[in-house]
Structures are given as structure tokens and as C-alpha cells.
Structure 1
Amino acid sequence: MEEVTLTLDEAFALCEAAAIRHGARAETARSLAAAAVRSEAEGRPNVGLAHFLDYLAALDAGRIDGAADAVITRPAPAIILSDARKGAAHPGFDRAFDDLVSTARSFGLAMFVQKNAYTCGALGPFAARLAEAGLVGMAATNGPALLAGSGGTRPVYCTNPLAFAAPVADGPPLLIDQASSATAFVSVRKAAREGRPIPEGWALDAEGNPTTDANKAVSGALLAFGGARGANLALMVEVLSAGLSGANWSLDASSFMKGSESPGTGLFVLAIAPMLLDADFSTRLAAQLERLSGEYGVHIPGQAKGRTREQAEKEGISIPADVYRRIAEG
């Protein structure tokens, strides 16, 4: 496969310019570009520059209002509420980030809640950025219905991911970022495009039957990981992200792939200041993670992403030439 190698700055400039051409205001273009490039640099191409093409298509169709300017209010001293006004999910969070950090450091914790946004793509960075600022972060978001609920066969939740991050002394943050579904929808869609089957236990077809046909899965329903336990987590995420914010429930959210309506989804981010409870938190966590990985062979999530991003900062990222051309020329 032909590839193009870019520095992270070049990749950011490429995406920023493309988003502006497709009608995004400057703030939105910067936020979308930064999110896509970060995911690509962390070795997650499915939610990196290839997914950035979905943002461009959504800008063209109106699923993202490129001119939208998020309205941010403070319902309480430690709560930040953003109305994305049918725009992208990232600008409101980016604008409120420094305030969220300083508020958490002052009060011990702070909450960012958002409604009326397009889907946010990779959720992990919302929590990881807080960990990089020395905070413990937890994030949850919803989207259009793709996932069957406990005991059901029809989609009622999105993949409803949950992310958690914590600062680690002298190393990348601990980062847990996982969907409530057995796999991410973008993985199923990619398999459908490439004509590949999917593993058993990932999805149902439109009639509610288990399927390994990715095309049938796209028009059916994803399955939760761990059965009812995963479905219950999806419901919890739904309450945190859509319920608290006043955003659309997944059942009421329009598609993020077609049509001209914003899915109007929600986002919940909690920031906790561990240093107010234990000044040595990040050092103790580093030692514990070292013990877990060294003596007990435990995989520590987040470390590989951190190493991959450090390498990308030095060597750049390589993306399919077709993706590059579609962003550059679109």
C-alpha cells in the first residue's frame, strides 16, 4: 500500500486546512485536526485521519454545523456546561479545558458536561489530557443507537465508551478506553468495506440473528462485551452523557454517517485532583503499575499509546496515500 509520511505539524496543518475548506470555523478546524492527529500518532488509525474524512463528510452534509459556536455556562462552581449547538464535540471541551483543570485543582473535582454535539470519535484523549495535567479523568459519551441492550436484539445504545486516565510519575498516563460493545463500530464498517467476515459474538443481523457477515452487522446491531454486564455499562454511560446533559438519548440521535441532522449527542467528563488527597499519588501509582507489569505480567493500558506517540513526534506518521489525497484535495 502506498503511504505518505508527515510530521505531526504537517498532518495538523493538512487537516486544519481541509476542515476550513469544508466550512468549519477556525476553532472547530483546530479542534478536529488536533483530535485526529493525536489518535493517528497514538497508533489508532481507525479513529485517526481515516476517521477525519467522516468529519469532512459531516461538515458537507450539515451533520456538523461548522459555524456553530459552543455556549459555555457555569450552573455551579465546579460544573461546566457546554451546548455545542449542533457543532463538533471537541471545541467546547478544548475551550473549557484550562478552566476545568484549575477548577478541579481548587475544589478537588470538577465536571464538564456537553449536549447537542456530533460524535467525538476517540474518547480516550478527553481523559488522557487531564492525566497529563496531573489529574485523574473519567469520560463517557453516547451516539446513535448501534448496540443491543441486555436481553434485546434491536439497537438502543451507541457503543457508549468509557475512558479513565490517571497520571503516572515519569511515564505516560494509565489510560483505559473501551467501548461497551464487543468491538468498535468503525471496525465492523471497515470489515464490511473490505469484504471480510467478523468474529462470532460481535453483532446481530437485522432480524436479530448472530452473524459474522460485516455487511449484515452494519444494518443490524452490535453486541455488548460480557453480555448483560457490558450492556449495563452502556446504560450507565447513557445516563451520564445524555441523561445529565440533556442530550439526545441514543434512540433519538440521528445517524453520524448519513442525513443532514446532528446526532445531538452528550459528553460527560469528570476531573479529580489526586494531589489534594495524596501528594505522592502519581509516584505510588507508577510503582504499583511497575509491580503489576513486572512481577505479575499484567498489561498496563496506555503505555503503548504513549510510546507510539513519542515515536511519532520524532519520526512522523505514515498514512495511506489515498487518505492523504482525499483530505488534501477534498
Structure 2
Amino acid sequence: MADDVTLSPTEAIDLARTALMRVGMAETAAGALARATVEAETAGKPAVGFLHLTDYLRSLVDGRISGRAEPLITAPVPAIMRCDAMGGVAQHGFSIAHEELASKAKTFGIAVFALQNSYTTGELGWYAARLAEEGLVALAATNGPAVLAGAGGRQPVYCANPLAFAAPMADGRVLLIDQTSSATAFVNIREAAAHGEAIPETWALDQDGEPTTDPFAAMQGALLAFGGTRGANVALMVEVLAAGLTGANWSLDAPDFQAGDASPGCGLFVLALSPQLFADDFPVRLASQVARLSGDYGVHVPGIDRVARQQQAESTGIVLPRQLFDSISSFRRI
């Protein structure tokens, strides 16, 4: 639309970083979150890009995020890095640990990053993709406040509990799978509510545990897992990795990320593997296999257009609705 605002990636990062710092976030943390926000936007995931940035901004104002938090990183053994986000954001802790985590994975063949006590993690694929860009295979899992019903249940017991997987290819692209355990992400239901749109009845239950097409009723009820029991089992697996192993809040115990003044205390689990220690020609083999799957069999391979999308954003810019741009620009510390 004519009233939209077009920004270069550099300008978009500056917009996000400046807004975050205005409401009290330290510069280093603001820079990490700003870069993650812009990468989600350029990857074609606006629901966890600038739209989600407003959640961070409101939470900084309300006290759900500690803007001056400095993550505490320890290593109980060489191949494991533990991080207490101290009520801050996961992007900050991961950015601090990223270089050492990649180095450990290349040295030992495997390394783990386990984070607790953070706000929601944003685009989960961002964490896995950053490691794949370093030539590593990565698996990431995260949790948050309960919004998803478990197998056979009608009340929320898990977060949408996404799982992300990334692997490098010889041509510089990465294979990236990033999907929730729910039939859809919570932010998509919230967006439908904002636009007054109905949702498919396979997405959620209302407060009475009945399928609903009303997004407002869905937000008061529970999301449904993809594939029924199988999806719910994936959510439970993610819960054990992201909350159990990290020491973070179980989803049932996590405070609301949209209200109150307490951090959700989310967890993030990231596993990094060095493929060169398993198979020297892994990136070449994967690139060849992806070409065969997509070219000869018509298979959609997720994530491989991420680099191309980012390059396109460099030339054409990032387009934000004027209302969203003005909202982000207007945030001030009270």
C-alpha cells in the first residue's frame, strides 16, 4: 500500500534496536534481538518478526523482560554450555554463546546449549540457521506458556512447542525445518482475531473443550496438536528437552507472556553437530539430494530460499505497514 514504510535491512535493525533501547534494554541485548527480528522478517515470517517485536516492547515496559539482564553462561563439561538468561531474552544469551558453541561442536563433534529463564524465543529457526551457516547440523527446541492441549486432554498443558532443524549445503544455502507442535502457531490465531477472521475448526478448542472457528474463543481455550496424538507426543518431547533438561519453567508453570510483570521463564535447547566428523562430503551430498528431491520429484524442501529472501531484502527493502511502524516508533519508557 502507498502508506507502507520501506526500510533497508540496516534501517530496520536500527528501528528495532532504537525502540528496544528507548524502553530500557541494554544495547548488546537490543542489537541481538533486533538482528533476529529482521532476519525473521526477511525470511518471510512476519508473525515472529516486527509484529512479535511489539510483544517484546510491551513486556519491557511492563516488566516481563529484564532489559538490563546479563546472561550467566557456565560449562559443566566442555561440550555443554548452560545459560541463565536472568529474565532477559534468549537471543542475547545465544548470541554471546554462539561463537564458542560452534567452536566446541567442531572440536568435539557435538555441543549443547541449554538456556533457561528467558522471555519467548522468537523465530526458533534463527538459532538453528545461524549454526548451519557455520557448517553445522543443528536441532533446536523451545517452550513457553501453556496454550496446547495434550493427547486426550482439553486443557492447555504445553506451549506450541516448536522444533527446528537446520543443515548446511555446499552452495551456501541451508535446509531449515521450523514448525510448531500445534496445528498452527498461537500468533496466527491472535492475528486472525485482530483481523476479525475465522479459523479452521481443526486449530483449536474453546473453553468448553469443543472445536471452534472463533479465534477469540480459541485464545481462551486450547490449541490442538498437528496430527492428533502424534503431534501432542512431539510437544511432550520438546517440553522435556526445552524445559526439563534446561531447568526452565514447565509450560504449565510459565507466566503469561502478554500480561503481568513476571517472566515466562522459557527454555531453549540447542544441539549442534559437526557433519565433517561423520561424513566429509556431507554438504555436497545434501545439496545433491535436495536438488534431486525438488527437481526430479517435485518435493518442497523448506528453508532453502532463506538466503535468497535475505538477498532480495537487501535490494528491495523490508515493507512494514504504517500502523506497525508508527507503533514501534512510539514506544517510550514510562
**Structure-1 residue corresponding to 2:250:** 249
Work out the CA distance in 2 between the residues paired with 1:128 and 1:29: 20
Q: Distance in 1 between matches of 2:274 and 2:257?
A: 34
Q: Is the 8 A contact 1:224 1:231 kept in 2?
A: yes
Matches within 5 A, 1:140-155: 140-155=141-156
- How far, CA to CA, are the matches of 1:298 and 1:86 in structure 2? 41
Query: Runs of at least 4 residues of structure 1 off by over 4 A?
Result: none
SS of the equivalent of 1:5 reads strand
Q: In 2, Cα distance between the equivalents of 1:105 and 1:46? A: 33
Equivalent in the alignment of 1:230:
231
Q: Which amino acid aligns with 2:281?
A: D
Structure 2 equivalent of residue 326 of structure 1: 327
SS of residue matched to 2:140: strand
Letter aligned with residue 286 of structure 1: A
- Whether 1:302 aligns to 2:296 is no
Residue identity in the other structure for 1:93: F
Whole-angstrom CA distance in 2 between matches of 1:212 and 1:144: 22
Q: Which residue of 2 aligns with 1:285?
A: 286
1:55 equivalent to 2:50? Answer: no
CA contact (8 A) 2:133 2:172 kept: no
1:102-161 C-alpha deviation (Å, 9 max, x unpaired): 000000010000000000111001001110100000000000000000000000000000
What's the offset of the Cα at 1:306? 2.6
Counting matched residue pairs gives 330
The 10-residue stretch of structure 1 (45-54 or 138-147) with the greater mean CA deviation from structure 2: 45-54
CA contact (8 A) 2:59 2:258 kept: yes
Letter in structure 2 aligned against 1:100? L
Shift of 1:298: 0.4
1:204 corresponds in structure 2 to: 205
Residues 70-109 of structure 1: CA deviation (Å, up to 9, x unaligned): 1000011100000001111111100000000000000001
Q: What is the deviation of 1:305? A: 2.6
SS in 2 for 1:210: coil
Paired residue type of 2:192 = A
The answer on whether the counterparts of 1:43 and 1:309 sit within 8 Å (CA) in structure 2 is no
Residue number in structure 1 paired with 2:194: 193
Please say which of residues 304-313 and 135-144 is displaced more in the overlay. Answer: 304-313
Q: TM-score, normalised by structure 2?
A: 0.98
Cα distance in 2 for partners of 1:159, 1:17 equals 30
Gaps of 5+ in 1: none
Distance across 2 between alignment mates of 1:276 and 1:303:
23
Match of 2:116 in 1: 115
Tell me the TM-score normalised to structure 1 length: 0.99
Query: What is the rounded CA distance, in whole Å, between the counterparts of 1:104 and 1:171 in structure 2?
Result: 19
SS in 2 for 1:110: strand
Matched, 1:87 2:54: no
Q: CA deviation at 1:237?
A: 0.3
Give the Cα–Cα distance (whole angstroms) in 1 for the partners of residues 87 and 281 of structure 2: 42
Residue 301 (structure 1) shift: 0.3
Distance 1:252 1:227 in 2: 23
1:44 shift after superposition? 1.0
SS at match of 1:91: helix
Q: What amino acid sits opposite 1:182 in the alignment?
A: A
- Residue identity (%): 57
1:308 shift after superposition: 1.4
Which deviates more from structure 2 when the two are superposed, residues 319-328 or residues 140-149? Answer: 319-328
- Give unmatched runs, 5+ long, in structure 2: none
Counterparts of 2:225 and 2:305, CA distance in 1: 25
C-alpha contact (below 8 Å) 2:6/2:319 kept by paired residues: yes
Name the residue aligned to 1:21.
22
Distance 1:322 1:172 in 2: 34
CA contact (8 A) 1:139 1:269 kept: yes
Distance (whole Å) between structure 2 residues aligned to residue 305 and residue 105 of structure 1: 24
C-alpha RMSD of matched pairs (Å) = 0.8
Tell me the alpha carbon deviations over residues 174-231 of structure 1, each in whole angstroms, 9 at most, x when there is no partner: 0000000000000000001111000120000011000011110011100000000000
User: Do residues 258 (structure 1) and 259 (structure 2) align?
Assistant: yes
Query: CA shift at 1:272, angstroms?
Result: 0.2
The answer (yes or no) to whether the contact 1:198–1:212 under 8 Å persists in 2 is: yes
What is the aligned partner in structure 1 of residue 181 from structure 2? 180
2 CA distance for matches of 1:260 and 1:32? Answer: 20
Give CA deviations for 1:220-268 in whole Å, capped at 9, x if unaligned: 1000000000000000000001000110000000000111100001000
